[in-house]
Amino acid sequence: MIESIFGAELSPYHEFSAAEWARLRADEPMTLEPEDIKRLRSLNDPISMAEAEQIYLPLTRLLSLYVEAIHGLHHVSSAFLQHNGERTPFIIGVAGSVAVGKSTTARILRALLRRWPASPKVDLVTTDGFLLPNSELEKRGLMERKGFPESYDRLAFLRFLAAIKSGKPNVEAPLYSHLTYDVLGETVTVDRPDILIVEGLNILQPGDLPKTGKPVVFASDFLDFSVYIDAPEPLLRQWYVERFLSLRDTAFKDPNSFFHRFSKLTETEARELAAEIWTSINLPNLTENIVPTRGRADLILTKSHDHAIDRVALRRL
């Protein structure tokens, strides 16, 4: 994976098989039950209890060390600056393609982190809420590019992250409905969490750098740790089509669903439409905007068939 770009001796990552990574769990206790795993996983993402123990327990152990290190750095910085500033939230980014399983990863991490002995306050926000409303996307001719960087209110997202990182109380995050395929005009309050998980397609993407050299801020500047979930493109396409078919038989049947008309398609028609959407919209976004950010992540989880994580890459320090 990474060796093909840099050569093994120059790779910026330590690489592990799933079995090698699982050994790094040490004595980290499993605090979730099988029923928790079933409840937290997303549609068509069959994560098992065994994988939660082998992959996510070592990851939460690593994150506990990172949080402790950041708190230590904060203490040193406060001593140097001669003030007793409050600790700011530790922000974790979860990125990757459509249908790769970002939501499951984010929810599993939140559940495990909340059950640390210190019982930290852990919140989860998705970037979907920062999409521009459909009315605005239609006005700009961007409905066919929904999910691309230009379809988001990036300034609002940056202001949200800046407010969280500065320790402000009661910061509002907009909500999104996958049923109506639009922002809701409602918000959720994020009030000084110990840890905030932010999940989205493009959170690791840098913007254009000004030729003047003027400092600019990217969403990734606010992240303390980032996870990129990777998979070969043919598998992503397969998983997207499978998810589309599952939704056709479930959520799309709701008359209030934006995609209700698709519930009447035959299986063959639904497969063809899903493949067309993947090829015309999701694949270009993947290749142009999402995959190029993979090498910016602190941790890369690579999936194979059946959504199983078989490789882990951790950025060297």
Domain boundaries, the chain: 3-202+217-315
In this prediction, residue 262 has a pLDDT band, given cuts at 50, 70 and 90, of very high
Between CA 291 and CA 2 the distance in angstroms is: 13
Residue with tokens 């910016």: 296
264-289 pLDDT per residue, tens? 999 999 999 999 999 999 999 999 99
The answer to whether residues 93 and 220 touch, using CB atoms and an 8 Å cutoff, is yes
Query: Which of 192-201, 202-211, 237-246 has the lowest average pLDDT?
Result: 202-211
Q: For 244-258, how does the pLDDT look when each residue is reduced to its tens digit (9 = 90+)?
A: 999 999 999 999 999
DSSP 92: E
Question: What confidence category does residue 180 fall into, taking pLDDT thresholds of 50, 70 and 90?
Answer: very high
User: Domain 3-202+217-315: what homologous superfamily?
Assistant: P-loop containing nucleotide triphosphate hydrolases (3.40.50.300)
What distance lies between CA 151 and its chain's CA centroid? 17
Average pLDDT, stretch 177-200? Answer: 96
pLDDT at 9 over 80: no
Going by their DSSP bridges, the two strands 195-199 and 171-177 should be labelled as unpaired
How far, CA to CA in Å, does 275 sit from each of 17, 128, 147, 214? 31, 22, 17, 42
**Structure tokens belonging to residue 62:** 């690593």
CA distances from 120 to 93, 195, 231 (A): 17, 7, 31
Determine if the pTM surpasses 0.85.
yes
Residue 285 vs residues 49, 165, 199, 201, 282: alpha-carbon distances, Å: 32, 29, 17, 9, 5
CB-CB contact of 306 with 45 (8 Å): no
Percent of the chain that is helix, strand, coil (3-state, to 5): 50, 20, 30
CA–CA distance, 184 with 235 (Å, rounded to integer)? 32
277 or 29, greater pLDDT = 277
Rounded CA-CA distance 151/173 in Å is 17
How far apart, in whole angstroms, are the C-alpha atoms of residue 95 and residue 298?
A: 11
Using CA atoms, how far apart are residues 30 and 37, in angstroms rounded to an integer?
12
The b/e string for 35-50 (b: 16+ C-beta within 10 A; e otherwise) is ebbeebbbebbebeee
